[in-house]
């Protein structure tokens, strides 16, 4: 394993402030993690209590009531983003109502912060399960989790087969049958989706992203990125510059 690449990948996931731009919109990042079911990345962003979160507006003279208002806003946004991600409308709004009603009964900032963490994690776990809703076998579910946890590595069919203790050929057929993708297609699509986020939310160069995500070369990364999204990584970053807040020197 290339420890340097692993460190860089987890550095991005952990959002280390000295390496990231200071003015990115954390709300976009936060809700994108929930929507995609990315539990590990979400936990990193939730390391700070809701009551200690910087930049919260004053919505009431009563600090507890103000925090409750922010809680309700978060619950409503979570419901909307998760509906967009495929969660049934009734399930999403019922979950939102459930947590809002619980929050209404709380008396302290710490209690609200703890409930906020539980709510965000609950939504994210449900979205992760939705990601695998068409998957019926445990081996394929484990393979998908392994892929998400090791996008900074070169993942082979042999690695995955050993992980779930199945014959590679059998696993290949099973994975295709249950997901509609070959193993290599699925790994590539997940790496490219992660690359999109890194282009928007980090200052890594295209070459660094290609290396961190274990693409064979920068040219190959550029080629498959353009084939998938119709634009090069550099062009993609420029087109999303307003969203990312990066300056031209970073592209």
pLDDT exceeds cutoff 90 at 162: yes
Mean of the per-residue pLDDT values for the chain?
Answer: 82
> Is a pLDDT exceeding 90 seen at residue 13?
no
Q: Is the pTM of this model over 0.85?
A: no
Q: Report domain extents, the chain.
A: 3-22+134-250, 26-131
**Contact by Cβ (8 Å): 112, 103:** yes
| Integer CA distances (angstroms), 216 to 20, 139, 209, 219, 223, in order | 25, 27, 11, 8, 11
Looking at domain 3-22+134-250, which CATH architecture does it have? Orthogonal Bundle (1.10)
Q: What is the mean pLDDT of residues 192-210?
A: 87
Q: Are residues 189 and 225 in contact, defined by beta-carbon separation less than 8 angstroms?
A: no
The answer to whether the beta carbons of residues 199 and 233 sit under 8 Å apart is: yes
The predicted-structure confidence for 36-90, as pLDDT tens digits, reads as follows 888 888 888 887 777 667 666 777 788 888 889 889 989 998 998 888 888 888 8
Decide if 6 contacts 153 (C-beta within 8 A).
Answer: yes
Supply the pLDDT for residue 1: 46
Q: What is the pLDDT of residues 84-132, one digit of tens each?
A: 888 888 888 889 999 999 999 999 989 999 999 999 999 999 998 887 6
pLDDT score of 88 = 85
- Name the one residue in this structure whose structure tokens are 């307003």: 242
Higher pLDDT, 49 or 149: 149
Contact 1, 9 (CB under 8 A): no
């Amino acid at each position: 394993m290339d420890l340097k690449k692993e460190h860089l990948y987890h550095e991005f996931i952990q959002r280390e402030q000295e390496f990231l731009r200071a003015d990115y919109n954390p709300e976009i990042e936060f809700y994108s993690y929930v929507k995609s079911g990315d539990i590990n990345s979400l936990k990193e962003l939730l390391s700070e209590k809701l009551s200690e979160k910087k930049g919260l507006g004053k919505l009431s003279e009563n600090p507890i009531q103000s925090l409750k208002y922010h809680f309700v806003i978060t619950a409503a946004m979570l419901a909307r983003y998760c509906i967009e991600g495929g969660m049934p409308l009734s399930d999403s709004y019922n979950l939102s109502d459930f947590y809002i009603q619980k929050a209404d009964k709380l008396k302290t900032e710490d209690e609200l912060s703890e409930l906020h963490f539980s709510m965000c994690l609950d939504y994210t776990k449900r979205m992760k399960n939705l990601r695998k809703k068409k998957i019926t076998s445990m081996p394929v579910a484990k393979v998908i989790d392994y892929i998400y946890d090791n996008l900074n590595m070169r993942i082979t069919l042999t690695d995955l087969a050993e992980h779930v203790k199945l014959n590679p050929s059998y696993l290949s057929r099973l994975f295709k049958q249950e997901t509609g993708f070959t193993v290599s297609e699925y790994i590539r699509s997940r790496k490219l989706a992660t690359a999109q986020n890194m282009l928007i939310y980090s200052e890594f160069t295209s070459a660094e992203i290609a290396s961190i995500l274990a693409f064979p070369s920068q040219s190959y990364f550029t080629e498959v990125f353009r084939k998938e999204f119709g634009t090069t990584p550099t062009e993609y970053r420029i087109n999303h510059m307003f969203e990312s807040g990066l300056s031209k020197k970073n592209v």
